[in-house]
């Protein structure tokens, strides 16, 4: 490859539950965009919004990063449900087809998918979990694509890993203004580092990134996420359980398992 370009594809959840962090998502994306524009290496960006009314709406398609405008309240309006698998499947297929049409010397040296959601799959009709798992693993193994997954739902993090994404490149965030902002900032940091080094490098969040989010959650005094017999079950309401589940996320080997 003669190009040192990075292709960044952002799959952005705009479903109804994102309304609570609408402005924070807009601000976080715009800060991310500004930081990536300041990076000296070339990059292109594809931005896709998804919800059940429009499972795959392309806002920018492999546009040079310097030409990408900021997100606004007019261009990010939460609504409807979460067809996450369909958005991922179409995103992978469309980018794969586009890159295949380019001469080898014009293809990007690095390809990164950044998926941002506050929940998990509940509305896909076109792609199954098994299909997405195979597609992700193929692109990771054959082409070195990197997949970054940000979610305010710990169950969605587990689902992302089950789909073949590396746990090191997932980040759970506190669904608050500070938590959302810090998730975008952490993503920008790891992506900037990735754009600086060899294309054989891997994207991954640090313990500090995870612990920063964990400290925010540890200040919570109650939640509807519960446990009674193991990590992640939901049969009773216990105020401290979300802290337990975050501890499991941060240090999964340090906690007792259910009998």
- 166 and 38 in a single domain? The answer is yes
> What's the confidence (pLDDT) of residue 211?
83
| Residues 6+ away with beta carbon under 8 Å from 112 | 6, 7, 8, 9, 145, 146, 147, 148, 191, 194, 203
CATH assignment of the domain containing 35: 3.40.50.410
> What's the confidence (pLDDT) of residue 246?
53
The answer to whether residue 210 is domain-embedded is: no
- 26 and 108 in a single domain? The answer is yes
- 128 and 230 in a single domain? The answer is no
- 117 and 42 in a single domain? The answer is yes
- 188 and 245 in a single domain? The answer is no
* Parts of the chain with a pLDDT under 50: 1-2, 220-242, 244, 252-259
- 201 and 223 in a single domain? The answer is no
> What's the confidence (pLDDT) of residue 79?
96
Torsions phi, psi of 49, nearest 5? -100, 145
Give the number of domains in the chain.
Answer: 2
> What's the confidence (pLDDT) of residue 255?
39
> What's the confidence (pLDDT) of residue 248?
53
pTM, 2 dp: 0.84
Percent of the chain with pLDDT over 90: 70
- 16 and 62 in a single domain? The answer is yes
- 12 and 97 in a single domain? The answer is yes
- 231 and 179 in a single domain? The answer is no
Q: What's the rounded Cα separation, in Å, for the pair 55 and 237? A: 34
- 249 and 124 in a single domain? The answer is no
Range of the domain at 57: 6-205
The answer to whether residue 233 is domain-embedded is: yes
Length of the chain equals 259
- 55 and 136 in a single domain? The answer is yes
> What's the confidence (pLDDT) of residue 210?
87
- 58 and 173 in a single domain? The answer is yes
> What's the confidence (pLDDT) of residue 186?
96
């Amino acid at each position: 490859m003669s190009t040192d370009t990075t292709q960044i594809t952002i799959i952005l959840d705009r479903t109804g539950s994102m309304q609570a962090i609408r402005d924070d998502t807009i601000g976080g994306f715009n800060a991310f965009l500004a930081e990536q524009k300041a990076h000296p290496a070339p990059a292109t960006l594809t931005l896709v919004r998804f919800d059940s009314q429009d499972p795959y709406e392309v806002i920018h398609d492999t546009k040079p990063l310097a030409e990408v405008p900021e997100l606004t309240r007019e261009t990010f309006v939460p609504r409807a449900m979460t067809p996450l698998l369909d958005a991922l499947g179409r995103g992978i297929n469309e980018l794969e087809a586009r890159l295949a049409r380019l001469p080898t010397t014009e293809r990007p040296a690095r390809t990164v998918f950044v998926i941002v959601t506050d929940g998990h799959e509940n509305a896909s009709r076109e792609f199954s979990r098994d299909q997405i798992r195979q597609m992700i693993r193929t692109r990771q193994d054959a082409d070195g694509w990197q997949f970054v997954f940000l979610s305010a739902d710990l169950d969605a993090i587990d689902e992302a890993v089950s789909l073949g994404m590396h746990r090191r490149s997932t980040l759970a965030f506190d669904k608050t203004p500070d938590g959302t902002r810090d998730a975008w900032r952490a993503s920008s940091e790891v992506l900037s580092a990735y754009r600086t080094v060899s294309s054989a490098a891997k994207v991954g969040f640090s313990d500090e990134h995870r612990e920063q989010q964990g400290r925010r959650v540890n200040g919570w005094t109650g939640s509807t996420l519960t446990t009674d017999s193991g990590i992640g079950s939901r049969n009773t309401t216990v105020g401290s359980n979300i802290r337990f589940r975050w501890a499991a996320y941060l240090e999964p080997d340090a906690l007792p398992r259910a009998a």
